[in-house]
Structure 1
């Protein structure tokens, strides 16, 4: 795999890997425990930030206020884990832009409800595993299981990119 050398290349790589994944698992920390829940991915190009809609009267809202460090996990043709910092936005125009009839049914409200809030996650790092060579992946997994061996550095199938230098 070619080394990612610029911030723009890192953004493009992650965008290409997650653009068709409709749901991400958002992990927050509460009482020292990781808690994950599915979040609808917005139809916006990844530029180092990810946006989600939620309600203020939820556990995740309180968890993010207490500890804004979060992780997002995407599973599709590839697997992507994005670590970052979450913050809230009341931007009414952006809420309207991301709103769709599914949210109205799921959240039982409208985008201009003061209880609706945006979560903005600014990515720090992304780790990804491309699933292009499934046979190699299966062989490596089987080797680990049967021989109790760990894959060497030359066999690693994942890459990590940092967004904040």
Structure 2
């Protein structure tokens, strides 16, 4: 676990995913991981991420059966977020996130009872920073020329836990 406070971890992950609109959203179906691209709803990351879907989809049923999910973001950096999904039918929240593109894509309106939100409460995140090529190259050269591993002195790859956010004693 990283030696950072929960708030610092949230800020780091928020910074890394802020410009990445689509995540690979992975659910579990019959013991197998199933991934599909889904657009993250525009909101400040505070430990929770929001997505919109329909009840008549496989992912909806998969979440009802097993709420453990993973989100993979790829851009200037890579971020993998593991968490628990919950379904929300909050009409005001659906209205807040709704936009004309969703209307066209889903061929409906936000108040359609088939439209639901998926709230993912992050538990852990692992990230790989690749944006600074010079920094990445320097770390790699250091690894090749010393006995030091990338994990011993590297912020290129780090895992952070959000358990304290939810009052867990783990």
CA contact (8 A) 1:4 1:10 kept: no
Q: Say which of 150, 153, 160 aligns to 2:151.
A: 153
TM-score, structure 2 as length reference:
0.84
Asked if residue 102 in structure 1 is aligned to residue 96 in structure 2, the reply is no
Counterpart of 2:46 in structure 1 is 47
In structure 2, C-alpha distance between the alignment counterparts of 1:90 and 1:162, rounded to whole Å: 28
1:137 Cα deviation from its structure 2 partner: 4.8
Q: Secondary structure at the match of 2:62?
A: helix
Q: Secondary structure at the match of 1:9?
A: helix
CA contact (8 A) 1:85 1:122 kept: yes
Q: Secondary structure at the match of 1:117?
A: strand
Q: How does 1:1-12 map to 2 (within 5 A)?
A: 4-12=3-11
CA contact (8 A) 1:25 1:72 kept: yes
In structure 1, C-alpha distance between the alignment counterparts of 2:44 and 2:66, rounded to whole Å: 26
CA contact (8 A) 1:84 1:124 kept: yes
TM-score, structure 1 as length reference:
0.86
CA RMSD of aligned residues (A): 2.1
In structure 1, C-alpha distance between the alignment counterparts of 2:76 and 2:3, rounded to whole Å: 20
Alpha-carbon displacement from aligned partner over 1:107-145 (angstroms, at most 9, x marks no partner): 0000000000000000000000111343565795xx99x
CA contact (8 A) 1:71 1:84 kept: yes
The runs of at least 4 consecutive aligned structure 1 residues that moved more than 4 Å come to 135-140
Aligned residues: 156
CA contact (8 A) 1:127 1:160 kept: yes
1:153 Cα deviation from its structure 2 partner: 3.1
1:84 Cα deviation from its structure 2 partner: 0.1
Q: Secondary structure at the match of 2:56?
A: coil
In structure 1, C-alpha distance between the alignment counterparts of 2:129 and 2:68, rounded to whole Å: 25
Q: Which runs of 5+ in 2 are unaligned?
A: 165-170
Counterpart of 1:74 in structure 2 is 73
Q: Which runs of 5+ in 1 are unaligned?
A: 145-150
Q: How does 1:15-30 map to 2 (within 5 A)?
A: 15-30=14-29
